[in-house]
Amino acid sequence: MNTADLGLPVDVPSTALFTDQYELTMLQAALRAGTAERRSVFEVFTRRLPEGRRYGVVAGTGRVLDAIENFRFDPDVLEFLRERDIVDGETLARLADYRFSGDVWGYPEGEVYFPGSPVMRVEGTFAECVLLETVILSVLNHDSAIAAAASRMSSAAGGRPLIEMGARRTHELAAVAASRAAYVGGFTSTSDLAAGFRYGIPTVGTSAHAFTLLHDRERDAFQAQVNSMGRGTTLLVDTYDVAEAVRTAVEVAGPGLGAVRIDSGDLLLVAHRVRQQLDELGATDTRIIVTSDLDEYAIASLAAAPVDAYGVGTRLVTGSGHPTCSMVYKLVARAGSADPAAPLVSVAKRSTGGKTSIGGRKWAARRHDAYGVAEAEVVGTGRLPEELAARQLQIELVKGGEVVAREPLDAVRERHTAARADLPLSATQLSRGEPVIPTEYVNGRSESPAGA
């Protein structure tokens, strides 16, 4: 069963306090000013990719949908706000009845994105949209960072399986989200049982060095594990002497031993030596799994080694040096009054220092060349050009407050594989570089600028 289909709540009773205080104080001030009911459009985007990265990966969309559904101010939460005197009585009454009733559009989860890509668009009244900023950004920034790192690692692995095993290197709830994002990015399994339970991700795991150290002899530990798990298990062979451990492992399990795991040392050298030894002992089908602080560069360096699978922890769950995507949530259009029929006015912050924004509700499409390879991310306002209609990227995720696009995680994973394959070959290079395709802006805005 894939529990991602079930819309399960996050691991707290409500997501309403996954927000910054100023979102509530803005609501209070807008209620007093009479502007809270103005129709508004917020967009999520990033101004730049992490340094050296060539594409981003949209991940966490399914979790965002869960968070929106569970954004409820229950009595305990309201009492907390009242006791702290964070907002006034009128605002508390409004929060008590909060239900998001607007629309959300966005890139489907697993899709790739580039600087300026409107990866999510939230539309509704200012009162209901402004409260969702922090929870949306916290999910998308974290999950997309992990998925991007996972995507680079899966490219470097060249089809060899990848095991996510970073739960002990991050917050316990972040670890579950990281497992999910890693699966989107191309990992095949996780050691985290909570992630397996919640999202249906395949789980793996056998033993650590502590199990070997528990026993009087390494042979005794191997025999106990084989007796318990069968000859197809994976034996950890670097607690003491690797060569001796490999010999003992084959003696205990026979040539049908499933795999050996190497967790330290010069992995390239040791993998070659272990493969030769296994073959000489007749264990030609025994696989070699390597772990030990791997990242995409270490994985790429092992491309020529006789390695069958990789286990990755710390570098994966921390985004391989980039733990956030720096996505922002900006108001890009709003109505001039609370009248539902009032036209939208494009708005944008005027700023220097690389923090500029482009106003207006935007569409996005990806243009391909004659060979079917992506050549540009086209972002615009107003009418979508007919020639790009079939390449439109945004889909409807929430309509009138109801989720309309929840999907199995395996479908998301497959989408990412296809999206990455559509990019130029240089997208998978690990050397530093600019985004693999440029972002082009088309100004055909249907809203007038503020003040016009």
Task: List, for residues 241-279, the tens digit of each pLDDT value.
Answer: 999 999 999 999 999 999 999 999 999 999 999 999 999
Question: What is the C-alpha to C-alpha distance for residues 432 and 49, in angstroms, rounded to an integer?
Answer: 12
Q: How confident is the model at residue 10 (pLDDT cuts 50, 70, 90)?
A: very low
Task: List, for residues 296-322, the tens digit of each pLDDT value.
Answer: 999 999 999 999 999 999 999 999 999
Question: Which part of the chain is CATH 3.20.140.10?
Answer: 3-146+322-449
Question: What is the C-alpha to C-alpha distance for residues 246 and 273, in angstroms, rounded to an integer?
Answer: 10
pLDDT exceeds 60 at position 445: no
Task: List, for residues 315-356, the tens digit of each pLDDT value.
Answer: 999 999 999 999 999 999 999 999 999 999 999 988 766 677
Q: How confident is the model at residue 444 (pLDDT cuts 50, 70, 90)?
A: low
Task: List, for residues 12-47, the tens digit of each pLDDT value.
Answer: 558 999 999 999 999 999 999 999 999 999 999 999
pLDDT exceeds 50 at position 435: yes
Length of the chain as a residue count:
452
> For residue 1, what pLDDT is reported?
39
Nearest Cα to Cα of residue 126 among 429, 434, 334, 421: 334
Do 123 and 344 form a contact (C-beta atoms < 8 A)? Answer: no
pLDDT exceeds 60 at position 190: yes
**Which tokens hold the place of 176?**
């579950």
Give percent helix, percent strand, percent coil of the chain, each to the nearest 5. Answer: 40, 20, 40
Overall fold of domain 206-307: TIM Barrel (3.20.20)
Task: List, for residues 59-96, the tens digit of each pLDDT value.
Answer: 999 999 999 999 999 999 999 999 999 999 999 999 99
Long-range (24+ apart) CB contacts under 8 A made by 221-230 are 222/248, 222/249, 222/252, 222/253, 223/252, 226/252, 226/253
Question: What is the C-alpha to C-alpha distance for residues 4 and 180, in angstroms, rounded to an integer?
Answer: 10
Q: How confident is the model at residue 443 (pLDDT cuts 50, 70, 90)?
A: confident
Q: How confident is the model at residue 439 (pLDDT cuts 50, 70, 90)?
A: very high
Residues near 263 by Cβ (< 8 Å), separated by ≥ 6?
Answer: 209, 236, 238, 290, 291, 292
Q: How confident is the model at residue 447 (pLDDT cuts 50, 70, 90)?
A: low
Q: Where are the strands (E) in 114-190, listed by range?
A: 120-125, 162-164, 189-190
> For residue 430, what pLDDT is reported?
94
Question: Which part of the chain is CATH 3.20.20.70?
Answer: 206-307
The 10 Å Cβ neighbour count of residue 157 is 23
Question: What is the C-alpha to C-alpha distance for residues 226 and 239, in angstroms, rounded to an integer?
Answer: 17
Nearest Cα to Cα of residue 122 among 103, 139, 100, 141: 103
> For residue 14, what pLDDT is reported?
83
pLDDT exceeds 80 at position 229: yes
- The mean predicted confidence, pLDDT, of the chain is 94
> For residue 451, what pLDDT is reported?
41
- Type of residue numbered 372: G
Question: What is the C-alpha to C-alpha distance for residues 190 and 181, in angstroms, rounded to an integer?
Answer: 11
pLDDT exceeds 80 at position 99: yes
**Which tokens hold the place of 374?**
């992506």
Percent of the chain predicted with pLDDT > 70: 94
CATH of domain 3-146+322-449: 3.20.140.10
